Structure 1
Amino acid sequence: MSREVSVGEVASLLRDRGPALVLTGAGLSTESGIPDYRGPDGQRRVTPMSHQEFCATSAARQRYWARSFIGWQRFSVAEPNAGHRAVAELQRVGAIGTVITQNVDGLHQDAGTRDVIELHGSLADVECLTCGERTDRDLVQAFMDDANPGFASLALGLVGDGSRVSSQIRPDGDIVLADDAVQTFVPPRCLVCGDDTLKPDVVFFGGSVPKPRVEQCFALTEAAPVLVVLGSSLKVMSGYRFVRRAAAHGIPVVVVTLGPTRGDAETTHRIDAPLGVTLTALARELAARLG
């Protein structure tokens, strides 16, 4: 059962038993302006497009890419926040090792963290579901920009009453945009096979993480002296399974996030607080002890 602890207690645990394995979630990126899917109560605020829906029809892919085209303009300029920088510092002083992230924003790497496993992939890459061709997202964005002159201005011009487009992006770079605003949008097509089956190289809701990646993360979990969870409600089994595996092996589980989590029963050390300031304090204390 989880026990509320101080930053000092977590620092002592990591000093004595580190380097810890880290699992991060969308809550770590909220201070960079990327909202998570759930509020502090753990309830989902928005429902993202599912893998099944995306793959089912061209209309669904058109809708996704129109919304993502607008969302990417905000998402791609997001910068690491204090929490990301603190994780990089904790790794630098040896308190933590590998970072498994459920996020697809690349902000851990931008902050200088190494040895990052992107559990759900990365929005920076695009793959063709038909032929397997891989493309850089910035190139796909440039194609959509050329093929849809004026679309960004049209969509953003509807912000006024708040009913057609939302300025809030989601953790997957999507944005709220009404269907009638995307009917003229020209979605990207694969430059190799010509199909409209381009998909960001991320695991959508309802999709599956590649088995070798899951097995790698299970192996890391079983070998870890401590598992530290940052900014995740653990509502999705994709991340929660590693907490369950750690608990089953008697490995301490530290959770730093706002609000309750699905893994509270398996958590041994808990800090319910904002991540940026908390992780900065933790990094400062461990730098003093280990640096």
Structure 2
Amino acid sequence: MNFSELKKIVADSGNIVFFGGAGTSTESDIPDFRSAGGLYGSGGAFAYPPEVMLSRTFFMQHTEQFYEFYRAKMVHPHAKPGAAHLALTELERQGKLRAVITQNIDGLHQKAGSRNVLELHGSVERNTCMECGARFELDYILQAEDAVPKCGACGGTVKPDVVLYEEMLDTDTLLKAQEAVREADILIVGGTSLSVYPAAGLVAEYEGDKLILINKSATPYDARANYLIQDSIGKVLTALISG
């Protein structure tokens, strides 16, 4: 692969879409799900496996235990945007990046300065009372005196606006993501194993000939990529925008 050619393609485009996953944030010390040291390998201190505790059923039936796990493993309030987040913000500032589509719930793209972010799986930064619909920021969850955060207005249970197992993705967000991918000149996919559906199916929406796939391990879409790079997402994106 000619990296200089790839840099020129990116430099000449005004309609890039980025689609990323957990690997975008592992460089900010947020663990992913399935790799060695990832979330699914760290649930030994809890009575149930992570995929059970992150389900809608578990949240409704064992809300206190859900929040114990959620606060310990899913929320990283001190994490800072990494090189990948900052590079994408710069691409947007230059008028080249149209949208960031992310599977992550950490809010780091917005903290880096990205404005058009489509969060397929929601965000820990938003929380809603299940009774009256009142909205709360992350600090409300972290500073709650009770194990289960309650709404100050009506006393209802506050739920994070994250998509749990057994829940559907937000239809409007998914449709916007599909439209952005279909209309993109360049689709950059990075830091995702492309194994979680329906999010991974977004790649199939792209009909162009400039699919750039950046991931340290193999994915089901490697053969579809026009440019395949198995390296650090932060390192590669930084190099793509450097002079």
Q: TM-score range by the shorter chain?
A: 0.7 to 0.9
- After TM superposition, the structure 1 stretch with the greater mean CA deviation from structure 2, 62-71 or 26-35, is 62-71
Once the two structures are superposed, the pairs formed by residues 236-251 of structure 1 within 5 Å of their partners are 236-246=196-206, 249-251=207-209
**Cα displacement string for residues 186-240 of structure 1 (whole angstroms, at most 9, x for unaligned residues):** 32223333233x2111112332111111111111111111111111111111321
> Aligned equivalents of 1:113 and 1:188: distance in 2?
29
> Aligned equivalents of 2:41 and 2:143: distance in 1?
31
Alignment partner, residue 54 of structure 1: 58
Alignment partner, residue 47 of structure 2: none
Normalising by structure 2, we get a TM-score of 0.86
> Aligned equivalents of 2:233 and 2:3: distance in 1?
11
| 1:67 partnered with 2:46 | no
Go from structure 1 to structure 2 and tell me whether the alpha carbon gap of 1:45 and 1:67 turns closer, same or farther (over 3 Å shift). closer
**Cα displacement string for residues 144-166 of structure 1 (whole angstroms, at most 9, x for unaligned residues):** 3xx4xxxxxxxxxxxxxxxxxxx
Match among 212, 218, 221 for residue 172 of structure 2? 212
| 1:192 partnered with 2:153 | yes
Structure 1 residue 66 displacement after superposition: 1.7
- After TM superposition, the structure 1 stretch with the greater mean CA deviation from structure 2, 129-138 or 98-107, is 129-138
| 1:272 partnered with 2:230 | yes
8 Å Cα contact 2:185/2:208 also seen in 1: no
> Aligned equivalents of 2:112 and 2:19: distance in 1?
16
Alignment partner, residue 282 of structure 1: 240
> Aligned equivalents of 2:9 and 2:109: distance in 1?
23
> Aligned equivalents of 2:73 and 2:231: distance in 1?
28
Q: Secondary structure at the match of 2:27?
A: helix
- After TM superposition, the structure 1 stretch with the greater mean CA deviation from structure 2, 13-22 or 60-69, is 13-22
Structure 1 residue 22 displacement after superposition: 0.8
Go from structure 1 to structure 2 and tell me whether the alpha carbon gap of 1:64 and 1:94 turns closer, same or farther (over 3 Å shift). same
Q: Secondary structure at the match of 1:29?
A: helix
| 1:13 partnered with 2:9 | yes
Alignment partner, residue 230 of structure 1: 190
Structure 1 residue 279 displacement after superposition: 1.6
8 Å Cα contact 1:50/1:207 also seen in 2: no
**Cα displacement string for residues 87-143 of structure 1 (whole angstroms, at most 9, x for unaligned residues):** 112222233221111111111111122211222111011112333222122123212
Q: Which runs of 5+ in 1 are unaligned?
A: 148-185
Alignment partner, residue 263 of structure 1: 221
Structure 1 residue 242 displacement after superposition: 1.2
8 Å Cα contact 2:191/2:214 also seen in 1: yes
Alignment partner, residue 252 of structure 1: 210
Q: Secondary structure at the match of 2:144?
A: helix
- After TM superposition, the structure 1 stretch with the greater mean CA deviation from structure 2, 130-139 or 114-123, is 130-139
8 Å Cα contact 1:24/1:100 also seen in 2: yes
Go from structure 1 to structure 2 and tell me whether the alpha carbon gap of 1:20 and 1:193 turns closer, same or farther (over 3 Å shift). same
The letter of the residue matching 2:30 is I
| 1:23 partnered with 2:24 | no
Q: Which runs of 5+ in 2 are unaligned?
A: 43-49
8 Å Cα contact 2:184/2:208 also seen in 1: no
Structure 1 residue 243 displacement after superposition: 0.2
Structure 1 residue 69 displacement after superposition: 3.1
Q: Work out which structure has the larger RCO, using CA pairs closer than 8 Å and 6 or more positions apart in sequence.
A: 1
Go from structure 1 to structure 2 and tell me whether the alpha carbon gap of 1:130 and 1:36 turns closer, same or farther (over 3 Å shift). same
Q: Larger C-alpha radius of gyration, 1 or 2? A: 1
The letter of the residue matching 2:152 is L
Structure 1 residue 13 displacement after superposition: 2.2
